[in-house]
Amino acid sequence: MFTSVLIANRGEIACRIAATCARLGIRSIAVYSEADAGAAHVAACDDAVPIGPAAAAHSYLDARRIVQAALDSGAQAVHPGYGFLSENPEFARACAEAGLVFIGPPPEAIESMGLKAESKRLMQAAGVPVVPGYHGAQQDDELLAEQAARIGWPVLIKASAGGGGKGMREVHAQADFAQALAGCRREARAAFGDDAVLIEKLVARPRHIEIQVFADRHGQAVALFERDCSLQRRHQKVVEEAPAPGLTPEQRGLLADAAVAAARAVGYQGAGTVEFIAEGDGAGGIRDFYFMEMNTRLQVEHPVTEMVTGLDLVEWQLRVAAGEPLPAAPQRPRGHAVEVRLYAESPRNGFLPSSGRVQRLQLPAAAARFQVAPDQAGLPAALRVDSGVREGDSVSTFYDPMVAKLIAWGETRDQAIGRLAEALRGTRLAGPDANTAFLRRLLGCHDFVAGIMDTGLIGRELERLLGSDIDPAHAALAVSCALLQEQLAQAADDPDPWARRDAWSNGVLPPRTLRLARGAQQVLARVGRDAAGWNFACDEQPARGLRWQASRSGTDEWELRVQCGELTLHAHVVGAAAALHPGADDDVRLHVFIDGEHAPWVWQRQAARAAGAAGSQDSVRAPMPGRIVALPVAAGQAVRAGQTLVVLEAMKMEHTLQAGDDGVVDAVLVTQGAQVDDGALLLRMRSAQAEPDA
């Protein structure tokens, strides 16, 4: 076994690998970019080496820097994690040439399975069923369009060199093919440095089922059961579970045999995942299944397999890479495990990634952190959390915005789902937007609970899954009480009532006004006190009999139980202490959590400036920091509602900004290739009837 391993990654997977290294007594060595100098994965490892600027291309994707870091640190082996260089055959070769063990498959296997067209050819030769499509080397646009028409609409365009949903487009009609192909090529080139594509038939009611495989240097290869990853949005997994519901024993056996045959066909070693697309039968089962791709690395969703097998898959990786034979594999899974990915993103804003400082991160206190080993009774932890983000950290625009993975185990599927839903109810992320409430609603979706799933479920149920926003009056009430409570708490530190800058008075307290805004939405709250007690009004609608109980529940967080008239609220508010910090006069963001919903509201202490910052409907602003990759419009051009105005690349994905109404582009204020900040003004628009400014 190795004595030292360099982890060529960041975030939760680097922390996950470090946890196994610590348990086995292996010295772990982190690498970090300038943006990650204080990151959780650096603290989790025994040593750390800087590798360059924040941009991944100049740090985590720079094979030369990482190999040199391994040599300088005295590492014996390199674990690539997932993403970044984990499926780069040249990196695997560079490690070997430097005398380092690459903890992964041989470069030839990565090469064969990394190119989707080549992998499909190999699978056909090995007798593994594949989806009808075009996987050829000729990439002329006209030829690709002809092949798509031959296959028959709808089709799926996929980047040949990548995965994770990047460079993937569904096309339902010939007229949409050219634009979809161009977007797929751009995204594939940016993510993988290769814009080659393949085209496949789009399978009806598709389920995404994958098999965890392992192979060693001694000719052994095993399948560690299946996972269902059908709940996706934008071709990225949202919920994963093991085992997959609704399969017959015969189907499980056929899938496992096909996966092992796929691994043997390329001389595989180490951990890998063979992914299949299966045609759902509409009742929770499947009909035919087809090979989709093989990921030659550990998967994000590997914890659900660990939970139902009791195995540490990272330990297996280390042992296989050190030349040891595979340990004995379990014959059947135990219980059921479900995983969700907690992302810093805005579901109500098209799932756009969100960035910024994490003011509050409340994860389930009872959850085991990175725990794999079963307890004394041989059972896994009921709840597990894998996270590489801590309270006070920042979610960067340079990397994937995943904050944590929450994994629940149960004797039954229903029990696992119930435990996970309960864990999400107690999870709060304040700072960036988060998908917490969306995930909780998804776990309660009727079809998911019934096991009737396909990759289109989220899209069909999206309106319900997005849910309703917090009532502005309720948010204003919670914020008002939190600010008053914070004032009272700060006043308790100074016994002199005449020195207090708070709500204390020896008689009637005149109403105090609070202006709150969320985007274009604004509310005006007033709180006062008279001989009868506290009173509250929102947008001139009064309510008497205001009472509340409050307790600290975290760093700068108040837990409130509020009663006002006939209304009763249980809320959490984050940010009150910062808002009332001495000398704080700027507008401030406060985060309100009520009934599992989260809404950030801005306390406008400089109303005139806030009004100017709110923007208007005649401007197009960047919804996040990113790079302009396409500007298909020009000043003076008439556009129709829904027409693409700007394509922005952020956090490895393209985001299309469209016209909300018919109009004319008044001015283009950015250039293609420019890096822009969150909220930056990109275009000015005017209605078709309006005269341009003189």
| Catalytic (active-site) positions | 297
Radius of gyration, CA atoms only, the chain: 27
Read out DSSP for 135-185?
A: --S---HHHHHHHHHHH-SSEEEEETT--TTTTEEEE-SGGGHHHHHHHHH
Q: How far apart are CA 533 and CA 291, in angstroms?
A: 69
Q: How far apart are CA 10 and CA 52, in angstroms?
A: 13
Record the tokens describing residue 491, joined without a space: 């006043």
Query: How buried is 490 (Cβ within 10 angstroms: 0-12 exposed, 13-18 middle, 19+ buried)?
Result: middle
Record the tokens describing residue 664, joined without a space: 């004319």
Q: Which residues contact 446 (CB under 8 A, 6 or more apart)?
A: none
Q: Which residues contact 5 (CB under 8 A, 6 or more apart)?
A: 17, 21, 26, 27, 28, 29, 75, 76, 77, 78, 79, 103, 318
In this structure, the number of other CB atoms found within 10 A of the CB of residue 225 comes to 20
Q: What are phi and psi of 315, to 5 degrees?
A: -60, -40
Record the tokens describing residue 450, joined without a space: 């019934």
Closest CA to 396 of 354, 359, 431: 354
CB 630 within 8 A of CB 186: yes
Which amino acid would we find at residue 652? K
Q: How far apart are CA 93 and CA 91, in angstroms?
A: 5
Closest CA to 262 of 371, 129, 77: 129
CB 403 within 8 A of CB 395: yes
In this structure, the number of other CB atoms found within 10 A of the CB of residue 520 comes to 9
**Distances from the Cα of 248 to the Cα of 74, 252, 452, angstroms:** 50, 6, 15
